Structure 1
Amino acid sequence: MNVYRISILVTDLAKAKDFFVNVFGFEVIQDEMVTSEKRVIRVQPKNSNTPFHLVVPQNDEKHLIGQQGGNRALVILETEDVTSLEEKFKSHAVKIIKPLKTAPFGKVILVEDLVGNKWEFVERFNS
């Protein structure tokens, strides 16, 4: 079994694509108009096989934007250099929920994406 995609609700596809590519460092794996009214954008972290499908929700789902993980991190990503990411987040005015800290397992930072979902980035210590 393999994860085909995870949907992330956003308000604007172009702004979301820009954020995930230029701030989080993801790569675009699909960006195409599948009908005259439907654009499909999928992004994923580099060296990952888990794509995120950026979706503008229907009207009755708009209240879920930015709330997909509740008060918890929607996604936890492992990275090799969380300190550099912290600087990148600061330079892009990303909201930092929990600043970079050292935990027993490694370094960790919790941030919000452009619509308010929480993402945790972890740099694990070598064991």
Structure 2
Amino acid sequence: MIISNVNVLVTDYDKAIDFYVNKLGFTLLCDVPVTAQQRWVRVAPQANSATVSALVLTKANAQQHHLVGNQAGDGVFLFLQSDDFWADYRRMQTAGVEFLEQPREEIYATVVIFRDGEGNKWDLLQPKNN
């Protein structure tokens, strides 16, 4: 088994797709209308297999709206693992991604916290080979 999808609440589908595709470099896997107000939108860092883990971008309803950008409270919500931290960091900086700190070396990885287009905190990290 794998974790195939993680739900991320958004306020606007097109704005969210723009952030994930154009700023983070993700691939748009699908964008299918479900109802007049809902779409099935999946994005992923890599689209090279049928078993790729993806984000499902879900437009928040009225009851969920207060959770947008705060899905993990004040903590880091998701972790984006890199094979080339510095190249990804520089590319994301150039694309206008908001970083909350300078990159740092931890015992387990090179890491930096950034915000997604809705305000959720993420870690960009490259694990150390221990």
- Using the size of structure 1 for normalisation, the TM-score is 0.89
Match of 2:81 in 1: 78
Indicate if the aligned counterparts of 2:7 and 2:57 stay in contact, CA closer than 8 A.
yes
Shift in Å, 1:98: 2.3
> Runs ≥4 in structure 1, deviation > 3 angstroms?
none
What is the CA–CA distance in structure 2 between the aligned matches of 1:76 and 1:35, rounded to whole Å?
Answer: 31
Return the letter of the residue paired with 1:34: V
Q: CA RMSD in A?
A: 1.7
Structure 1 gaps of 5+ residues are none
SS of the residue corresponding to residue 74 of structure 2 reads coil
Q: Percent identity over the alignment?
A: 29
Match of 2:17 in 1: 17
Match of 1:41 in 2: 41
Return the letter of the residue paired with 1:109: V
What is the CA–CA distance in structure 2 between the aligned matches of 1:36 and 1:64, rounded to whole Å?
Answer: 22
Shift in Å, 1:33: 1.4
SS of the residue corresponding to residue 60 of structure 1 reads coil
Shift in Å, 1:125: 2.2
SS of the residue corresponding to residue 65 of structure 2 reads helix
Deviations 1:45-90 (A, max 9, x none): 2157211110111112101000001111111121111112221222
Q: What pairs with 1:1-127 in structure 2 (closer than 5 Å)?
A: 1-46=1-46, 49-127=52-130
Indicate if the aligned counterparts of 1:77 and 1:119 stay in contact, CA closer than 8 A.
yes
Shift in Å, 1:21: 1.1
SS of the residue corresponding to residue 99 of structure 1 reads coil
Deviations 1:99-122 (A, max 9, x none): 211122231111000110011011
